[in-house]
Amino acid sequence: MKKLWGGRFTKTAEEWVDEFGASISFDQELVMEDIEGSMAHVQMLASTGILSQEEAATIKSGLIKLQQKAENHELQFSVSNEDIHMNLESMLIAEIGPVGGKLHTGRSRNDQVATDMHLYLRNRTEEVIALIAEMQNALLQKASDHVETIFPGYTHLQRAQPVSFAHHLMAYFWMLERDKERFKESFKRINKSPLGAGALAGTTFPIDRELSAELLGFSSIYENSLDAVSDRDFIVEFLSNSSMLMMHLSRLGEEIILWCSREFQFIELDDAFSTGSSIMPQKKNPDMAELIRGKTGRVYGNLFGLLTVLKGLPLAYNKDMQEDKEGMFDTVKTITGSLKIFTGMISTLKVKSTEMKKAVTSDFSNATELADYLASKGMPFRDAHEVVGHLVLACIQKDCYLADLTLDEFQSASGLFEEDIYKALDPYTAVARRNSAGGTGFAQVEAAIAKAKTLLEN
Ligand code: ARG
């Protein structure tokens, strides 16, 4: 089949070579963005008088037909037309005749593909921001129900100090808030128009780049034509933001996996987000959380893949850059899917507050309370730490916990201990008293939830 660029060739490539170089199998994902970009381009060509109003109107009507066909999945793409841009152009010519060939005036596939990618990521970034907010909302709702649900906070995966379960969930809310900010921040750089940069050097036609940018809703244009067609930073940034997001999701995923194990028993996942085993009838597996933990790897891989493609690449366009797409599409699919799954999983999970409570009563996570108690009565904290360390050791030897010691035993360790020590050892008191800014004290958690609610509403 004759190529749109076939003029200087005497021989056509074999089909398998064409197939290797073609991107249509994946860049058809850009069909709507490509048509949108062409619409703006042709309108600009008409406004500047480069094309007549009639020519532009014919081209536009052809593009609208293609748009409708695309919506109905009626377009038949072919590998011999290589990519989405040339497939659509040849379909346009088939639809409206040779005038369709005027669409590409003052434009190159290099600024065209860059424009498509900006439009695509702009839409997807908005979608991702909305999905992050939905997951934050799920965390917030769950947290609101569990301000006074106490469970062990860990360091080194060893029980450390009791915390409010809501406080723990809210930690993820704030991580997601930063992720959202990162996507919002990078939106500025995505929302720039490369259209009109031509192949690399601009064009001899009196085009109006500002106009086509405005028609596409871009807030500015690239200053430099070489940069415009070579820049893929905006995709790297999206992949980097996505990697950070997945890193956060995988940490929550890991905790969910731990929490629903028999060893922790802190939560139960809804059946809708769990799977069974083909052999072990008793199994209820947290597959979705595991899968998201696993998918984090492919998102990191996509980031590193693109960084490596771009490393050392000379200006301007090189075919290497066609490799920017699959990882980006895959990342969009992975992060949007993961966010939706997590939103559902969090809203439906059951919190086993009795098990959680048990975990903070039969352990030493209240030891810091004792040290703080002595320190607040004037003993240097370092000495208090030592006194309590001995008490913990004594308990371990007697196979009991701190609250099981008698007042005499406490007082023989330090004369500062009084009857109110038992109150201080209560995990509920321990949490309630951690009222420093951003701490787990109930008043702090309530305030954080209220603040987070207003943030989400705005
Ligand atoms: N399919 C190509 C890509 O995605 C479009 C740009 C092609 N430009 C070129 N000069 N071969 O990168």
Residues with a known catalytic role: 156, 277
**Rounded Cα distance, 193 and 213, in Å:** 6
DSSP conformation class of 364: S
**Rounded Cα distance, 168 and 139, in Å:** 10
- Pocket residue to mutate for ligand 1, from 322, 323, 325, most atoms within 8 A of Cβ: 322
- Pocket residue to mutate for ligand 1, from 80, 306, 317, 325, most atoms within 8 A of Cβ: 317
Question: Could you tell me whether strands 192-193 and 220-221 are parallel, antiparallel, or unpaired per DSSP bridges?
Answer: parallel
pLDDT score at 276: 85
Ligand 1: nearest atom to the Cα of 321: 12
Tokens of 49: 């008088």
**Rounded Cα distance, 224 and 200, in Å:** 9
**Rounded Cα distance, 114 and 328, in Å:** 13
**Rounded Cα distance, 342 and 246, in Å:** 11
Coil, strand or helix at 202: coil
**Rounded Cα distance, 213 and 61, in Å:** 21
Q: How far is the CA of 416 from the centre of ligand 1 (A)?
A: 78
**Ligand 1, atom 3: nearest CA belongs to which residue?**
322
Place of tokens 């005036």: 105
Catalogue the long-range contacts made by 88-97 (C-beta closer than 8 Å, 24 or more residues apart). Answer: 88/31, 88/34, 88/35, 88/38, 89/4, 90/4, 91/66, 92/59, 92/62, 92/63, 92/66, 95/62, 95/65, 95/66, 96/58, 96/59, 96/61, 96/62
Q: How far is the CA of 452 from the centre of ligand 1 (A)?
A: 44
**Ligand 1, atom 4: nearest CA belongs to which residue?**
322
- 156: alpha, beta or left, given left = phi > 0 and alpha = psi -120 to 50? left
Tokens of 358: 């048990």
Q: How far is the CA of 238 from the centre of ligand 1 (A)?
A: 21
State phi, psi for 155 to the nearest 5 degrees. -130, 145
Contact status, residue 246 vs residue 299, Cβ threshold 8 Å: yes
Q: How far is the CA of 285 from the centre of ligand 1 (A)?
A: 45
Contact status, residue 62 vs residue 95, Cβ threshold 8 Å: yes
The binding-site residues of ligand 1, defined as CB within 6 angstroms of any ligand atom, are 23, 27, 83, 109-110, 113, 317, 319, 321-322
AA letter at 428: Y
pLDDT score at 284: 85
Contact status, residue 140 vs residue 453, Cβ threshold 8 Å: yes
Ligand 1: nearest atom to the Cα of 317: 10
Ligand 1: nearest atom to the Cα of 199: 10
DSSP conformation class of 268: E
Q: How far is the CA of 5 from the centre of ligand 1 (A)?
A: 12
Task: Please give the ipTM for the structure prediction.
Answer: 0.97
Tokens of 242: 């996505």
One digit per residue, the tens of pLDDT, for the chain of length 458 reads: 678 888 888 888 788 999 999 999 999 999 999 999 999 999 999 999 999 999 999 999 999 999 999 999 999 999 999 999 999 999 999 999 999 999 999 999 999 999 999 999 999 999 999 999 999 999 999 999 999 999 999 999 999 999 999 999 999 999 999 999 999 999 999 999 999 999 999 999 999 999 999 999 999 999 999 999 999 999 999 999 999 999 999 999 999 999 999 999 999 999 898 888 888 888 889 999 999 999 999 999 999 999 999 999 999 999 999 999 999 999 999 999 999 999 999 999 999 999 999 999 888 989 999 999 999 999 999 999 999 999 999 999 999 999 999 999 999 999 999 999 999 999 999 999 999 999 999 999 999 999 999 999 98
Coil, strand or helix at 351: strand
Coil, strand or helix at 362: coil
- Pocket residue to mutate for ligand 1, from 19, 28, 33, 83, most atoms within 8 A of Cβ: 83
